[in-house]
Amino acid sequence: MSLLKPFSKLPGLNSANILLVESKEEFQQSLADALVQETAFTVNVRLAKSLPLPMENEESRPRIDLVAFIIDLTSELSFQSTEASLKCLDPGYFLGKVCFMVTNARNAAAPIERLDAVRKLAASLHCPLLFTEDQTPDGVTNATERLLTILKVAAGLVPMATALYLSNLTRSTVSPDIDQPSFD
């Protein structure tokens, strides 16, 4: 099984590469359009439905600095596909180069158990968990800004800050009673 490795290639000059993985392939398009608007450095956005990535592009693919998994809470398939994709990442990515984005968290059709499961997943992997809103342009802009902050650090463009250091500050935690309902 081909793992995606974080440090097997040389980085580009003043550029950052981000991979957006989403099973539904809706939000990643609008997010990508907003991400490339960044002018301070070159942002290359790669889109994928799931991992592992196809072998044909292996040579031409640049070094991926940040892998962002987009999970739609109203669809169980989205969560299951993300879990399966996580197995195709080299462990080196989990030192600050992975982040989870969750959409539709406020939707009544999203069961609470799924959100808890995503929280536990992000906490166990020490990755940040971002809640985003994908239907309005404001929501897309907000999500882009937050992603860019993490991407800049992950690509090494921020002096004195590494991805591992930032992940210690941004990683998701779960409250101690997440497994235990208050009711007996």
Partner 1 sequence: NFNTVSSIKVGVCVCVCVCVCVTSSATRTPLNNVGVQRRSKSYRLSYRSCLGTAASRLGLTPALTARRLNTSRRALKPHGVAEKVDPEQLALLVKTEWQLSYVTPLHQFRHTQLKSYSRRLAAFIAAGKQQGLAVAVENPQTTFRVSFSLVEGMTESADDAETVLIQIHARPSFAGQDEPQRPAWSGWLTCVNGNPDYLRSLPKDFTCLPLFGSSGAEGLGALVKSWFQQSFDCCFGPLEVSHTSLQWLMALWTNCHTEASIQHLKMIWTLPAVPPLEVTYTVNPEDAWELWRSVRKQKENRGGGGEEEENCIDIEEVADFVQGLKSHFYRHFRLDLSAGSLNQVSTALGSAKHSGRMKISNSRYMTTTLTLLTESALLKMPI
Q: Is 109 in the site for partner 1 (CB under 8 A)?
A: yes
106 binds partner 1 (CB under 8 A): no
| Closest to partner 1 by CB, 138 or 184 | 184
The C-alpha atoms of residue 79 and residue 85 are separated, in whole angstroms, by 10
Cβ–Cβ under 8 Å, residues 6 and 90: yes
Q: Is 29 in the site for partner 1 (CB under 8 A)?
A: no
Which CA distances in Å does 155 have to 45, 54, 80, 148, 150?
Answer: 13, 23, 28, 10, 9
161/105 Cα distance (integer angstroms): 31
Residue 176 sits in the site that holds partner 1 (CB under 8 A): yes
Report d(CA 26, CA 182) in Å as an integer: 37
Among 125, 130, 153, 154, binds partner 1 (CB under 8 A): 125
Select the span of 2-10, 48-56, 76-84, 150-158 touching partner 1 (CB under 8 A).
76-84
Of positions 10, 13, 59, 113, contacts partner 1 by CB under 8 A: 113
Q: Which is nearer to partner 1, 8 or 80 (CB)?
A: 80
Total residues binding partner 1 (CB under 8 A):
26
DSSP state of 89: B
Residue number, 37 or 124, with CB nearest to partner 1: 124
